[in-house]
Structure 1
Amino acid sequence: MRMSDLVANYIMRALDESDGNAEIQRNVLAGELGCVPSQINYVITSRFTPEQGYIVESKRGGGGYIRITRVTTDRRSAIMHIVNSIGDKLSSSSAAIMLRNMKDSGIISAYDSALMSAALSDKAYGDTPPQKRDSLRASIFKNLLITHMIINE
């Protein structure tokens, strides 16, 4: 398992164990996991964003901490928030992270996540020029999410 996955899993467990609120000290966590503090920053800035349903606060200094809060909203609002946050382009890795977060928070099922993942993977865009894949993926993902929301109302 990659270090970024270990860090993300650690934070997700902390969030699950504390009702959606986790407070970590970057240097302490880095020491526990055997990584450098910048890897903790990378995971937080890439996987725990407002677009993915998290609020991150930090206090720097000796007693500093990073507080991560999972935002809970109803399913429809969460999906619309995600649709509005996607933008014009979406990488395969960003789509995978968003799907994982949506599945983990119960917005979509594991089955729906697997189907969407297949539709958003680079393999699905075989003959599409690489420079057009991210914009096509963003459009398809938005349509999949809106359709999912309508069907499951």
Structure 2
Amino acid sequence: MGNITDLIEQYLKMTLSRSGKELLEIKRSELAKQFQCVPSQINYVISTRFTLEKGYIVESKRGGGGYIRIMKVESDSNVMLFEQIQHLIGQSIDQQTAQNIVLRLYEEKAINRREANLIASVLDRSHFKSSIAHRDEIRANLLNAMIDTLKYKENR
């Protein structure tokens, strides 16, 4: 028999599988009660065993009506392209280079026209009231976050 962390992980994966859906919503406190552990143990399992790299997206809402939502995702067929582009982006990117990247994603059919327009509008310099260096860092962070989202498709 495994340790409590392994048991919680197995339980969550089994429950997700049995539900027939790609989404599982649980209450942290109820799960902690069921396994007779502290809620932080549940947090640990979720944060280490249900990561994006392992094929899961986790949403969490704390408080009285709080929940943890675990969604199983699969890689988009363009995952290698997205990873290559993220490598190019690095820690900082100017607007022109970002626009070129968005155009490339569109031309390679990794994103549609609407997604390209949305991404380009978010990355426009007019939205950033800061120094050029800081603006380029923010732009890189935003573009990387959007590409992370594009890498995985939800199975809803």
Q: Which has the higher contact order (CA 8 A, sep 6+)?
A: 2
Q: Which has the larger radius of gyration?
A: 2
Which structure dedicates a bigger proportion of its chain to helix?
A: 1
